[in-house]
Amino acid sequence: MLSDIAGQALNSLPKELVDIQRKILNEQRITDDEGILLFEKGSLPFLGSLANYIREKKHGDITYFNRNFHIEPTNVCVFTCNFCSYSRLYAHREEGWELSAEQMLHMVKKYDGQPVTEVHIVGGVHPKMNLEFFADVLRKIKVHRPSLHIKGFTAVELDYMFRKAKMSNEEGLTYLKNAGLDSLPGGGAEIFDQEVREKICADKVDTNGWLAIHEAAHKLGMHSNATMLYGHIENYSHRIDHMSRLRHLQDKTGGFNTFIPLKFRNKDNDMSNVPESNIVEDMKMYAVARIYLDNFPHLKAYWPMLGRQNAQLSLSFGVNDIDGTIDDTTKIYSMAGAEEQNPSMTTEELVALIRQAKRRPVERGTLYDVIKDYSSIGMNNGDPHPMMN
C-alpha cells in the first residue's frame, strides 16, 4: 500500500522518507525538518506521487481556472526590489505609465457583455496614488459592474496606502472593503526570512507587516492568497520557514485560499546574474508545498509566469488551479523574461490544456464557487491528435 503511493519500493527508501510517507497516509502534519528533508532527499517521482495523492484526496481530478483580467494602475514604484524588472521610478522614467480612475473604469467597460468574473488589480507603489484614489476606483468599478469580484492590492501597496492615510490595517481595509474591495492577492510576500528579504527587497513592508495585513483581512471576513518568490538566493530552509509562517497564520484564521509559488525570472533586473531554477526544481517546489501546507485548500501554478506546458505538468505535482484567461493584461512577468510575452488564453484553450493532462476542468469564481463543470461538455479529451494517444 505505502509503496503503491510513492511508486518506489519501500526497502529502497531512506527510513526518514518512509516515516514521512506514513505520516501523509495517516493525514498527519509534517515538521519543518521533514519539509527540508523532502527538498534535499526526495526524488521527483517520490515527491510527485505523495503530492498527487494529497491533491486527489482533496480535489480528485478537478482543476480550477477562472475568467479574469488584470489592471496594473502604474509601474512607477517608490521601492527598489532587486528582482523587479517592472518598476520605473528612477531609471527609464519615460517608460512608466500611470492610469487615471477613468482609464481603469474604461478597461472594465471593455468587458461589458463578456462573462469575466474577476479583476485583479496590482502594480507599483506610486507616491501619488493614495487610499482615497483607489477607493474611488473601486467605487466606480462596483457601480458599473457590481458582480465583478475585485481582488486587489498586495500587502506592499496596502501598507504604504494605510501608513500615508494614518490608518491602522483594520481601518484601511474596512474603508477599502466598503468601497468594493472583495479579496487580496498574494503578492509582496517574496521570502519572509529577514536576512534574505533585506538582500532582495529591503525597503518594502517587512514580514510581520505582510502577515499582519493578511490577518486583519481574514478577521474582517476577506479571503486572500499567499505567494513565495523562489529560485534565487534563498535555500530550502528559507522556503520552509516561509511556508511555516503561512501555515501558522492559516491555523489561526483559515482565511487563505491559495498558495502560489512564483519562480524567479532574471531578465532586466538587478539580479540578472542569478540563474533561474530548472523544471525539476520547479516541480519539487510545487510538490513540497502541497505536502507541507496541509491547511491550504488550493495550490496554484500561475501559467503566465511558468509557461503553459509547465503549468500542465504541475497538475501531476500537487497543483489544482492554473489561474485564468488573463487576456494579455499583465506585464510583470513578460518584462522579467517569461516565455509568455502576451499572456492570454481562451476558456476553450484552458479547458483543452487541462484535459490534455487528463484532469477535469472546472471554471470557478475567485472564492472557488463552481461556475461551470466541463467534465461532460464537448468531450474530445482536449487532445488535438487523439490518434497519437
Round to whole Å and give the CA distance between 141 and 233. 40
Identified binder of ligand SF4 from the candidate list 99, 116, 131, 156, rule CB under 6 A: 156
| Position 155 contacts ligand SF4 (CB under 6 A) | no
Q: Which of 24, 38, 62, 77 binds ligand SF4 (CB under 6 A)?
A: 77
DSSP state of 74: B
What helix, strand, coil percent values describe the chain, rounded to 5?
45, 15, 45
Which one of ligand V47, ligand SF4, none interacts with residue 87, CB within 5 to 8 A by kind?
ligand SF4
Q: Least distance (Å) from ligand V47 to the CB of residue 86?
A: 6
Tally the residues of the chain: 389
338 near ligand SF4, rule: CB under 6 A: no
* Cell numbers representing residue 111 in the block: 468587458
Residue of 71, 66, 89 whose CA lies nearest to 324: 66
Cα angle 99-102-105, degrees, rounded to a multiple of 5: 95
Q: Which CB, 204 or 355, lies closer to ligand V47?
A: 204
Q: Does residue 70 bind ligand SF4 (CB under 6 A)?
A: no
Residue 20 C-beta: closest distance to ligand V47, Å: 29
Residue 228 touches which member of ligand V47, ligand SF4, none, C-beta under 5-8 Å by kind: none
Considering only residues 34 to 93 of the shown chain, the ones binding ligand V47 according to CB under 6 A are: 83-85
Distances (CA, A) of 235 to 78, 299, 338, 370: 28, 21, 23, 37
Q: What is the side-by-side strand order in the sheet with 360-364?
A: 321-324, 62-66, 360-364, 370-373
Angle value at C-alpha 363, between 213 and 190, nearest 5 degrees: 30
The residue from 190, 282, 327, 340 that contacts ligand V47 (CB under 6 A) is 190
Q: What does the binding site for ligand SF4 look like in residue numbers (CB under 6 A)?
A: 77, 79, 81, 84, 86-87, 124-125, 156, 201, 204
Q: What does the binding site for ligand V47 look like in residue numbers (CB under 6 A)?
A: 83-85, 122, 154, 185-188, 190, 225, 227, 229, 260, 262, 264-265, 269, 302, 323, 332, 336
